[in-house]
Structure 1
Amino acid sequence: MDSPVKRILLVEDEPLIAMVLETIVSEAGYSPVGPAADRNAALALLETRNVDAAILDYRLGEESADLLADELDRRRIPWLLATGFDRQALPERYSSAPVVAKPFGEDDVRAALERLLLRND
């Protein structure tokens, strides 16, 4: 029996990057949820949709992904960061978080998602 399609929450405030992520995730065989452009929209999606993992932009306008990452951790939903920040520029709490560096390629996102989901199955 085939396993259900994994649902991936997309949190990205740049519309073009959000569209690219949505396409990559969909073409990789996953079901995109969102995208959400800010933390509140992402939290609203978490209240109404089941998700298996998330891709978070670290900087969402004037806010960071910190509180959203905390909520995902609380729910035991694995996540990765898609960010233009150098890993050393991120807060210490993200030192072991999976990161896809912007600008990213399709293969980068696919591989990071596969590793994230395998690690948490």
Structure 2
Amino acid sequence: MLFGKRKAKVKRILIVEDEPLVAFDNETMIGEAGYTVVATVDRASEALAILDRELQVRDDDEEHGVDLVLTDIALTGDRNGVDLAREASARGVPVLFATGNPPDGADRAALGHLLKPYNDRTLKAALKAVDRHLSGEKVKAPDGLVLY
């Protein structure tokens, strides 16, 4: 399809954040950008339960599934965002860390990180870049985003 619009890879996002205000802001910004927020939770265990539920549905069902997990590193409970990223990646779901301080080895668990603090414009640019990256395009990451 010449001059056609590329089909987005990222439509449905799971937000995992333990700071209520940041979680609310993420949910609002992501929704306003046209993405579907699957859920917003603060624990890795909750996020994994949602992933398992959403991934049980057929692949061609656009009303279910998770295309990207946006997670902080520090989470409520005994498991952190790196633990979540490893398990989500094993399920075939890409992960983007949203953190002020990415840990060593983060590149083995996620596709990149978005440095906190960020604003609406930065988050939207990062999500677009991640979508293009997942489509196989060579991407110049916007300020604040590091792709591994």
Q: TM-score, normalised by structure 1?
A: 0.85
C-alpha distance after superposition, 1:35-61 (max 9, x if no partner): 011101101110122101110101113
Corresponding letter in the other structure for 1:94 = D
Q: Is the counterpart of residue 79 in structure 1 residue 95 in structure 2?
A: yes
For 1:94 and 1:65, locate their aligned partners in 2 and report how far apart those are by CA, in whole Å. 13
Q: Is the counterpart of residue 112 in structure 1 residue 126 in structure 2?
A: yes
**Runs ≥4 residues deviating over 4 A:** 2-5
User: Gapped runs of 5+ residues in structure 2?
Assistant: 55-64, 136-148
Partner of 1:45: 50
Q: CA deviation at 1:92?
A: 2.4
User: Gapped runs of 5+ residues in structure 1?
Assistant: none
Partner of 1:24: 29
Partner of 2:57: none
Corresponding letter in the other structure for 2:113 = V
Alignment RMSD: 2.3
For 1:72 and 1:104, locate their aligned partners in 2 and report how far apart those are by CA, in whole Å. 24
- Whose strand fraction is larger, Structure 1's or Structure 2's? 1
